[in-house]
């Protein structure tokens, strides 16, 4: 956190001197003045330096693969923030980064733990499924980085929760990695809360997504070891989904809607959950707090319903998210039609 706080003013100075501002003309932008989008530099520097100085060496996570993946993703994100990257190139780099983590790093999901009746995964299926999962979450955090503080807050909640759970099962190396990301994001958040002085950009959001999904995978896999497992939590994969529910739900929702209406799932729009909350008249801080509350409630639900199994817990959380989305849609219709009518629930 200290490194991030100290680095940020220098990054702001360079960005303003070199006129490295966000693209104001884009229809999705929420601000009326140029704001630097290089906050990911401070997040990357503070996270990597902290890991290199204070990491606890162990066998649970190959830090060499983790750091290599972070560096590759950082380089691509920095170029994207400065001059743009072709979507196909960005996807290719994400596949390479995911492959580094999954194949030499062996960071992969080996089972679906009974979700939809699927248990053990063969090696090839495990590799492919994990790579797709990592790519999804990397982009999910990128997509929710649309209002001040949201991506950073989601990253803090996710990694702080994982850190607490890792400490409970004596996985201090993994907890230390989570806390390094929490500190980096806290330092950044000081400058990203409304009125934002800087954005994290792709440099930050892609890396936060990568670290968060890696921690989720390790949390799921480590709990298969009987002697360190959280014996009172039976639905560990469902809990991991609950911890990352805000980016997961928003991404699956917008991708589904874009495909249903005949568009590309990667075409930018203003139909994200945070954009819809802003339509109700809330400001950036209020929208971020609302979604943070939804995240915390989802985690609480997963812990309370843990004995019902992964499939049931995931379905309950998904239903709760759909109800939340339905409520927002109802309120938007009521606001646009100036009437709180029952039919606004459906059309």
Q: 111 by DSSP, 3-state: which? A: strand
pLDDT number for residue 271: 84
Query: How many domains is the chain partitioned into structurally?
Result: 1
- Per-residue confidence (pLDDT) for residue 41, from 0 to 100: 95
pLDDT at 109: 94
319 alpha carbon, distance to own chain's centre? 20
Residues paired with residue 321 on neighbouring β-strands, in sequence order: none
* DSSP run (H or E) holding 54: helix 39-54
Would you say 202 is a known binding-site residue?
yes
Is 142 labelled as part of a ligand binding site? Answer: yes
Contact, 247 vs 154, CB < 8 A? yes
DSSP for residue 21: B
In the chain, the N- to C-terminal Cα span, in Å, equals 47
The pLDDT value recorded for residue 170 is: 87
Q: Residue holding tokens 């790093």?
A: 105
Rounded to the nearest 5 percent, the helix, strand and coil shares of the chain are 70, 0, 30
Segments of the chain with pLDDT less than 70:
22-33, 56-59, 225-232
Asked if the bond preceding 195 is cis, omega within 30° of 0, the reply is yes
- Number of C-alpha atoms within 13 angstroms, CB side, residue 190? 18
Question: What tokens does 54 get?
Answer: 């204070």
Which among 25, 55, 19 has a CA at the least distance from the CA of 38?
19
Q: What is the CA radius of gyration of the chain?
A: 20
Do 35 and 198 contact (CB within 8 A), yes or no?
yes
Asked if 101 and 138 count as a contact pair (C-beta separation under 8 A), the reply is no
Report whether 108 contacts 126 (CB < 8 A). yes
> What are the DSSP calls for 147-211, one per residue?
STTHHHHHHHHHHHHHHHHHHHTT-HHHHHHHHHHHHHHHHHHHHHSSSPS---HHHHHHHHHHH
* pLDDT for residue 147: 92
Which residues have CB under 8 Å from 176's CB, separation 6+?
51, 54, 55, 56
CB-based contact 237:113 (threshold 8 Å)? yes
- Residue range(s) defining the domain that contains residue 336: 2-345
């Amino acid at each position: 956190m200290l490194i991030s706080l100290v680095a940020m003013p220098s990054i702001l100075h360079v960005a303003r001197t070199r006129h490295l501002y966000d693209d104001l003309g884009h229809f999705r932008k929420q601000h009326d003045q140029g704001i630097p989008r290089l906050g990911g530099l401070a997040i990357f520097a503070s996270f990597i330096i902290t890991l290199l100085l204070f990491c606890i060496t162990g066998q649970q996570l190959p830090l060499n693969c983790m750091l290599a993946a972070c560096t590759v993703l950082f380089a691509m994100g920095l170029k994207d923030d400065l001059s743009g990257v072709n979507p196909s190139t960005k996807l290719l780099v994400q596949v390479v980064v995911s492959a580094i983590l999954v194949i030499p790093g062996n960071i992969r999901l080996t089972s679906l733990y009974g979700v939809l009746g699927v248990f053990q995964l063969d090696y090839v299926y495990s590799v492919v499924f994990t790579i797709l999962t990592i790519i999804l979450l990397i982009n999910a955090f990128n997509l929710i980085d649309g209002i001040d503080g949201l991506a950073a807050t989601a990253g803090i909640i996710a990694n702080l929760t994982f850190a607490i759970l890792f400490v409970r099962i004596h996985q201090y190396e993994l907890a230390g990695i989570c806390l390094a990301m929490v500190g980096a994001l806290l330092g950044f958040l000081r400058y990203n809360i409304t009125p934002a002085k800087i954005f994290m950009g792709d440099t930050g959001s892609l890396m936060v997504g990568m670290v968060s999904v890696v921690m989720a995978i390790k949390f799921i896999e480590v709990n298969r070891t009987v002697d360190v497992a959280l014996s009172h939590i039976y639905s560990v994969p469902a809990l991991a989904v609950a911890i990352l529910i805000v980016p997961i739900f928003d991404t699956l929702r917008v991708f589904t809607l874009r495909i249903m209406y005949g568009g590309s799932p990667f075409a930018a729009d203003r139909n994200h959950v945070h954009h819809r909350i802003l339509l109700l008249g809330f400001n950036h801080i209020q929208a971020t707090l609302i979604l943070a509350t939804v995240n915390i409630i989802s985690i609480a639900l997963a812990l309370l319903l843990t004995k019902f199994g992964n499939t049931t817990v995931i379905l309950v959380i998904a239903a709760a998210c759909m109800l939340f989305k339905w409520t927002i849609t109802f309120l938007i219709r009521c606001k646009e039609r100036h009437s709180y009518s029952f039919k606004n629930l459906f059309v």
